[in-house]
Structure 1
Amino acid sequence: MMAGRGIPLEGTAGGPARHIPVLLAPVLEAVSPRDGGVYVDGTLGAGGYTSAILDAADCRVIAIDRDPVAIAAGRTLVDRYPGRLTIVEGRFSGLDAIARANDADEVDGITLDVGVSSMQLDEAARGFSFMQDGPLDMRMGNAGPSAADVVNAMPEGDLARLIFILGEEKKSRAVARAIGQARNEEEISTTGRLAEIVARAVGNRRDGKHPATRTFQALRIFVNGELSELAEGLAAAERILKAGGRLAVVSFHSLEDRIVKRFLNERSRVTHGSRHLPDMPVAAPTFRLIARHPVTATEEEVAANPRARSARLRGAERTDAPAREIDPAFLGVPKLPDLSGARPS
């Protein structure tokens, strides 16, 4: 579940960013920026979608990110688009409240690029990747327990369930058992150490991926509450989009894509009462699908940006029907162990 949000940002620390926004052209087509419109980029990252929207029309963008590093880097963009860009540190699950707090009672379009960004993956100190040794953190923001807190404090049974559900790791029990044995000897505090423990428990994978891939994915999703965040973000988008407003969501994993697909399919379904039953109130669809099937990256884009390989774009247009409550369980948000015993270090 890897995102590639970004474009080169002049003046940012460390030189130009090396990140490429995924599915940029189809995202712009889905959102269709227009002059005078107000748009929300719920996942600023390195500013790829935000910049493209602002370049496409004389419009305004409210860009949100929970990562303070992304917020700091994005300040350069504010100077590039004076009076047209507002950057807010926060979660996209509250994007409707954030938009209203920034003088937008309704918006014309919303983009969400779900998952971890390239900047986070590429910085060893953030602790997201097993490819570079660093502190075992994985938090997109600075709050709450880290991945180290979870692996060192969560009971083995809960840890196995978490890795099985969020990582879809068939050897989750063996992984949890290996983690339990290792932490009894010494606290697990680095990505390299955890990757070694998991690799021994899983062994070589037939698909050629690193054996720790699924476990790291599970921990990151759990630490950041990504699936519930996505469900709440979709509901927030429904509440703040005006009739005719567009929603574009890029996801990178089946767990995410399933939530987006179920939400949009359920919200766009036209239901009819039965002629054999008394008339019952039927909820009007709140979205119209832009396309029935997700957009995926071309071979050329994957060659230029391998992280685009698993990307899926789904888009929909808001109707004038009132927003409705969501059912996270129906959307596919699993019920997971809580963080009791795992406290921020």
Structure 2
Amino acid sequence: MFDQATLKQAIREEAAKLGFVHCGFARADAVPEAGEALKAWVADGRHGTMDWMEERVGQRAHPQALWPEAKSVIALAMSYAPAQDPRRLAQDPQVGRISVYAQGGDYHKFVKKALKALARFIVEQVPSELKVFVDTAPVMEKPLSAAAGIGWQGKHTNLLSRTEGNWLFLGVIFTALELEPDPPASSHCGSCTRCLAACPTAAFDGPGRIDARRCISYLTIEHSGPIPHEFRSAMGNRIYGCDDCLSACPWNRFAEAAHANRAFLPRAELAAPRLADLLALDETAFREVFAGSPIKRIGIARFLRNCLIAAGNSGDAALLPNIRAHLDSPDPVVAEAATWAAERVAHPAASIAATQAA
């Protein structure tokens, strides 16, 4: 029989070598209430058009519904803390703002590689069955990570750490081993509501209550149709994701960019890309620029739609030729966004008044 304490310490040490800033342990059945909350959230339609979430809600709700042999969960976190405040570009109309997590390498690839390496290490110590997951699988990483003690879910629903803030990529390992669970994390948000107040589209209607249909991250990444007009102005120059609720959290003062995995350091061309350059991309150039980036997953049409909304919000007449180049796009969503953006830039006062009246 293996020595649990020795094994857990060895796993923590190996996880640290592989770039994880946190490692914790929980029972596979530790968070039944999270599954019920998820089902209620989906039943309310707050997942929007993310049908993949609804289709596998049963597996997502309980680890053992996904893998019956699971006895324990090893929760891990890798930092991508930025060196600068992501909000610094908010007032620059010539650039598009890309969420911090997407400015470097695709986290799915790097986190999964590290998880697999840790899994091999565990099997070498104690032959056993296990499975590794990054967020493409139907797994509730955030509540499981909280149960494993590596952080708590803040009022913005994301995982928070007292030492690393909320700039964390999460991964989990399900194992058939029965490992002693760590104490669950307690919340340290107190009365603070800065994250909720920071949301530009009022996507939160209370602590831990988010409506994805109002979230800019959902609208720019998951949503494939036209951006609802009521949210376009609030998008500003955000073209992929939104970091406002994350950036507002005071716990980030403890997050150090030096702890971030180097794979996630921002690529120069993605840190503050010019809208004019992005609007000039064709399919081939889009694939080249975003090779190895999670942005590539949304495709050029959705990306151009986002850039056109940002261009429309810029008020920069110099962008009109770039905008008008997409008026005849074969994609109706892109063409509609171009029409809106062109009118917005050419006749800003009338466009803003119409938006406010609506």
TM-score scaled to structure 1, two decimals? 0.24
